[in-house]
Structures are given as structure tokens and as C-alpha cells.
Amino acid sequence: MGASGNGKSSVLRAGLLHQLQLGRRIAGSDRWRIRMTRPDRQPMQNLALAFVDEGLSDLDRAEALGRATGLLNQGASGLQRLVQASTAPRVMLVIDQFEEVFTRCDSIEEREQFFACLMGALSNTEDKLCLIIAMRADFVGKCFEQPYSGLAQQIQQHLIPVLPMEPEELRAAIGQPAEQVGLAIEPALVTQILNDIAGAPGSLPLLQYTLKQLWQQRQGNQLTLSTYQALGGINGTLDQRATAIYHSFAPAEQRTVQHIFQQLTQLGEGTEDTRRRVFQADLVAEPQHPAAQVQTVIDRLSSPEHRLLVTSEVVSKGDKSERRAIVDVAHEALIRHWNRLRHWIEQNRDRLRQQRKIEASAIAWRDQGRKSGYLLQGLPLTEAIHFEKQQRETFPLSDSARMFIQQSLRHRRWNRVKTASWLIIPALVVVGVVEHNLREDSVKADYARLEQAGKYEEKQAVEALVQGCDAPLPIGLLLPYLAERLFGNCRSLYRAPLAKADLSIADLRAADLRYADLRYANLRFAYLRYADLSSADLNSADLSDTNLRAADLSNAFLTNSILLATDLRNTQNLQITQLTGEESPLLCNVALPDTLTGIDPNRDCDQIPQI
């Protein structure tokens, strides 16, 4: 245990584990089995991954992970069996970044399950299992807040502190590696570095980074004081480097850089801010931070030239054969010493907390199979809606979080319909003509707003117009006021001017889009189930991953549109001629209606990636 940046991970990996693998300090330790992990957001799943050997095929790896997960679901006895099954004399289970079980794992139940699993197996495997954890010193208090199955007692009995290096140790760390390769260092440079880091906690990552920069800018075969001063000294080196890389991006990409680093910073609760690993898909937030731009920025920041970020892959929990990309900050020194990032975090801390709370709820909903019990209700939903509207430009929510809010809204609306259904019967009046005239006037006004709206506001306006179209209206003669209160607006989009509109992820179920102009529109992931698209112009529209089940597509124009993973099952009046011909839509992994036979649903897969 030691302060952040004191070198505990280096002592663990390059010191202790290296010596054990050599087998010189302890006879036979080179035959011990070393399993390494870090808790991250799902410590039990990552513990299972530690017992999956590298070098396996994806299928074998998935099977091994399934077996390990099944055993660990049994708790301490399952971990005990995994350890005892090893043919090695001892199993060294090493858990680095142990503080993540408090900073990254939101589930108190999983946290306690993790501790009980470790402590129970440790006490029942005699000397077969050796558990080594590395943790930041400022989180030791967290381990003593509760018994945690004996964790606090084990730490108290076996704690090994990693103290800051003494000046002579630092001098050796600077000079001896250089001597091994015949590199000269000016004595004044060593003295200046030691003066600059004296009394500075967590200085080793900065020292490492500075020495690397000095090596890359060495003069001949020598590291000089003048180069060090030009770099800005020990604190300025990393700050200058990160800022220079930031300025190398275009303005739109700079905003994505800020967005990514803010999301990769775990906000401290009475402790220092730390880094957090995030799925790359959760960094995508249309339209401000589209997937292609996020990928471009991450590729540059993680390149060997820059190395401000690191990327890795994990096996998806839902589909164990699928790998998902994860992004992480290269080192916490960047979070502490990049002044621009510190300014972003301090300026936006409260809004980041709100954003993080909504994103965490969306992840929990997704991980629990999108069950309605995990949707937002009451004040949390109201706050999430307000945040999304107020902060959509500067702190946009991820696509999955916005979908989560939309689903929560639909659930709330339906609950209101069920609880307020008793109001329907007294409200029945014969006002059909009046309602029709009111709707005709409102639709004209709505079209005027659509034509003046910006791209993102356009999507919100369109969704607002069809809000509640899927609600069951038993009789069409309700008062307009009552209808909108219970069921939303549900106004017609007949002949709506929506060419080139960005309607990705929009909820347009049951919408009236007859004769609508949707040429070149972005309808990716849109929900158009039961929508009336008869005679709509969808020429060159992107309908990738769009749900069109039971939609009416009679006489709809689909020329050159993109149908990638589009759901067309049970569509009404879709003709084979709409999907064939010289300028027919591009088809790839399309779910076609049973009535349309003889069409290859993967006909154009080789063309779609080029678009």
C-alpha cells in the first residue's frame, strides 16, 4: 500500500513477481502460478477472467470463462476449487488497483460478494492460495468501514507500506539505467530534478515521463539541463506535452478530446480524482461526438507517438464470444498534472456528477436485461429529462443513456394511462370536428417550426409531434386537452419536409409519415414500428438498424437507401419491386418479411462498408 504514484505497481510487477518468476529468492517459486486481475466495475467477472488462460481461441476462451464464472457464482467454495484444481504448488492471486472495488464498482452486493469470496477461499486453501493486493493508501479507511469478511483484519496484520523514495534512491533510479547503456547525464540536471520533486507525493510517474522526453531529445549521447528547462521541468513536461497534443486536433475533435478525458476521470468522494475505464461505445454521443470521430481521436491519443490513452478488449458479459473495446487514461499523473484537464474537471464537476449518475443508471438497466424495474421514475426522471435538454450541447449523454430516458418516459406515460383511465369515460364528448380543425392549425404551425429548427432541435421537435402515438385511443372523440395529457401529441407528419434530417435513435412508432420527404435522412436505430410510411420518399436514406416491423411501406420510395441490419418483418404492402432493380436499396443482414422470397438479405454487404 502506498500513495498514488509512489511506485507500488512497479514494486509489485517488476520487483516481487519478477523475483518469484526467477525462483532464486524462494526455492521453487518459478513453478508457482500467477493470476492477475483488477476489480474495475465488475470485480467478480474480472476475477473469473483471471482464471482464463491466454492463447486460447475465442470459443475455448468463452467456454473457460463460462466455467470459471459458474464456479465463482458459488462464492468462496468455487474459488477454492479453482485454486485447488491448479497443478502448480501455489497460486498467487494478484489484484492491482484494488481501490477500484470502491471507486468503480457501484454494487454494494457485488463488492461484499467479492470480499467474501476472496477471504473465504484464503482461509480454506491452507498455503495453496496466496493473495496479494496493491491499493492506494488514501483508500485504506474504506477497508476499515466494515468487517468485509475479515479483509480489514488481514490488511492490518499483513500491510506492507511502499514509502516515497529517498534522495539517494532517486539519484540511483535516474543515473544507473543511463550508465547501463553508456548515456551521460549532466550532474546539474540530476540535482535540479531532485530539487523539483523533493516533497512532491506521487512524483515517480512524472519522473518517468520526463526522463523519457529527455531521452528522446538528448543531445548526442547526453541528457542536459537546458533541454529539461525547455521542457518546463518535472511538472511542465507532461502538461506541455498533453496540451500540445490537444492543440493538434481540429476544433470539433478538441471538444471530443475534452469529452473523452472527462468521462475517463473518476470524481473523488473526499479523495483524489482517479482514472476510470469506460467502454468505447459509451463514449459515443450523437451528434456532438459521433462514433467515427470518437474512434479517430482515440486512435491518435493511444498511438505510440502520443500514448495518453490505452485501449484494451474484454469479453462481453452478454455474449461471451464478443469482445468490447475499453479505453483508459495511460496514467493517473495525467489527471493530476494536466492543468487543462484539471480546469475542465473543477469547472464542470457538478454537471459531470449528474451526467455520471444518469449514465450509471442506464448501464444498470442495460446489464439487467432492460427490465422496467430499472427505469427512472419520479424526480430522478424529471431531473434526467431536464439535464438532457439543458446540457445536450456541452454534456451530451451517450446514445444508450438517451434511449434509456426515452424508454423511462414511455413507461411513465403508459403508467399514467393505466392509472388515469377512469377519466376517459366522463370526458367523452362529440367534438370530432373541433378537434380536427385544432389539429390542422397546429400541424401547420409545427411544420413552420420544423423548417426553422437546427438539426438536433429538429429531431426533438419530430419526436415531440408523435409522442404517444402508440398509446391505445379507444375512441377518437376525446377532448384535445385530455388526449394530449394522457397520450401525448400524436400529430400527423403528413408531407413533412424532413430531407437530410438527423432522426437517428428517434422514437417514431406509429407516426403518420405519409408522403413525408425523408431523402438522405439519417434514420439509424430509429424506432418506426407501426409507422405509416406509405408513399414516403426514402431515397438515399440511411435505415441501418432501423425497426420497421409492421410499418406500412406501400409505394414508399427506397431508391439507393441503406438497409443494414434493418428489421422489415411483418411490414405491410412492401413489394418485391421496391427492393430490386438497378437503383434498389443496399441490403445487408436484413430481416425480410416471410412473404418476400427469392431476395438475398445479404446481397450488398460488400458495398455497404464503402459508403
Summarised one tens digit per residue, pLDDT across range 444-485 is 554 455 445 455 566 777 777 776 666 554 444 444 445 544
Beta-strand pair 274-275/222-223: unpaired
Confidence of residue 488 (pLDDT cuts 50, 70, 90): low
pLDDT tens digits, 371-415: 888 899 888 888 888 888 888 878 888 878 888 888 888 788 777
- SS3 string of 381-411? HHHHHHHHHHHCCCCCCCHHHHHHHHHHHHH
Q: Look up residue 8 and give its three cell numbers.
A: 507500488
Average pLDDT over residues 40-50: 92
For the stretch 167-189, pLDDT in tens is: 899 999 999 999 999 999 999 99
DSSP reduced 3-state for 530: coil
Dihedral sign for Cα atoms in the order 349, 350, 351, 357: positive
Q: Which of 101, 80, 89 is nearest to 37 (CA)?
A: 101
- Report the predicted TM-score, pTM, of the whole model to 2 decimal places: 0.51
Cis peptide before 251 (omega within 30 of 0): no
The answer to whether 543 touches 523, Cβ cutoff 8 Å, is yes
Which pLDDT score, from 0 to 100, does residue 131 have? 96
What's the sign of the alpha-carbon dihedral 603, 607, 609, 611? Answer: negative
Segment 282-304, tens digit of pLDDT:
898 878 888 889 999 998 898 76
Taking a C-beta distance cutoff of 8 angstroms, is the pair 217, 255 a contact?
no
Please count the other Cβ atoms lying within 10 Å of the Cβ belonging to residue 226.
11
Interatomic CA distance for residues 185 and 178, integer angstroms: 8
Q: Using CA atoms, how far apart are residues 416 and 484, in angstroms rounded to an integer? A: 12
Q: What is the per-residue pLDDT for 443? A: 46
Distant-in-sequence, close-in-space partners of 330: CB < 8 Å, separation ≥ 6 = 307, 308, 309, 310
Pairing status of strand 309-315 against strand 323-329: antiparallel
Location of C-alpha cell 459531470: 352
Q: Residue 252 — pLDDT band, cuts 50, 70, 90?
A: very high
Q: Residue 611: count other Cβ atoms within 10 Å of its Cβ.
A: 11
**Of 79-88, 312-321, 412-421, where does mean pLDDT reach its minimum?**
312-321
Q: What is the mean pLDDT of residues 144-156?
A: 89
Q: Is the dihedral of CA 194, 199, 204, 208 positive or negative?
A: negative
Q: How confident is the model at residue 320 (pLDDT cuts 50, 70, 90)?
A: very low
CB 490 within 8 A of CB 472: no
- Residue 107 CB burial class (10 angstroms; 0-12, 13-18, ≥19): middle
The conformation of residue 499, written as its DSSP 8-state character, comes to T
The domains located in the chain, with CATH, are 8-158 (3.40.50), 167-240 (1.10.8), 248-405 (no CATH)
Q: At residue 522, what are phi and psi to the nearest 5 degrees?
A: -95, 105
User: What angle do the packed helices 339-367 and 233-247 form, to 10 degrees?
Assistant: 60
| pLDDT for the residue 330 | 78
